[in-house]
């Protein structure tokens, strides 16, 4: 199983062919071992052109969507990024190679623990994984230069807008059954600019059935 050849082919046929041109994103996707972030019994499919199940009713996004969302963030290398919805940890690994510090929140504890273990094992030392309610963001680490959300809320969470720096960008799928991938730019403390990019299908954002331990949300 030559994963580097698989990753190269994935980037050529799925990413570049669909118009992704950011060379930083392209190079990172060639070098990130996607198979490490999926269950071992489906690792052979890790570089295929579709989402894959990672357990607990959650998925790892299609490679193209990871590439598109990362490109839309317009990372230059020095940013502090909040990710809502760690899932497998793959998107966090991609972000870790493109930005300075990544703070990522996952509401499903077993996935948070597994992603933390995988990222630690692979040496991603600029990623902090937390089990918590991402809808509330991460107030104690705010403000963020960039925010990326990998599950779909029905509307843009106000707490995330509050925690975005003025001039910062958020990439987020919004909607219930039909969703739009949006870029939100915070133009002032009270105003945002919103752009719709493409229709998408993400798993819905999960909300806690009861409040999570307080330490998870500060």
The SS3 of residue 97 is: helix
Per-residue model confidence as pLDDT tens digits over 66-119: 999 999 999 999 999 999 999 999 999 999 999 999 999 999 999 999 999 999
Structure tokens belonging to residue 174: 């919004």
Angle at 13 between CA 9 and CA 17, to 5 degrees: 140
34-68 residue pLDDT tens: 999 999 999 999 999 999 999 998 999 999 999 99
Q: List active site positions.
A: 61
**pLDDT confidence band for 186 (50 / 70 / 90):** very high
H/E stretch holding 57: none
């Amino acid at each position: 199983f030559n994963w580097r050849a698989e990753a190269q082919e994935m980037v050529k046929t799925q990413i570049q062919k669909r118009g992704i041109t950011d060379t930083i994103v392209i190079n990172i996707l060639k070098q990130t071992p996607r198979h490490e972030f999926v269950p071992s019994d489906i690792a052979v499919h890790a570089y295929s052109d579709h989402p894959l199940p990672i357990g607990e009713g959650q998925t790892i996004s299609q490679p193209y969507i990871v590439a598109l969302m990362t490109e839309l963030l317009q990372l230059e290398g020095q940013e502090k990024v909040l990710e809502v919805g760690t899932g497998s940890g793959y998107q966090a690994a991609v972000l870790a190679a493109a930005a300075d510090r990544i703070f990522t929140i996952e509401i499903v504890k077993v996935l948070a623990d597994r992603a933390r273990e995988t990222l630690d094992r692979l040496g991603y030392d600029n990623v902090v994984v937390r089990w918590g309610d991402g809808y509330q963001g991460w107030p104690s680490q705010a403000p963020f230069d960039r925010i990326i959300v990998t599950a779909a809320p029905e509307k843009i969470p106000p707490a995330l807008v509050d925690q975005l720096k003025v001039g910062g960008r958020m990439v987020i799928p919004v909607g219930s059954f039909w969703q739009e991938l949006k870029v939100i730019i915070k133009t002032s403390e009270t105003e945002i600019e919103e752009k719709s990019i493409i229709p998408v299908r993400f798993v819905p954002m999960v909300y806690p059935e009861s409040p999570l331990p307080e330490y998870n949300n500060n």
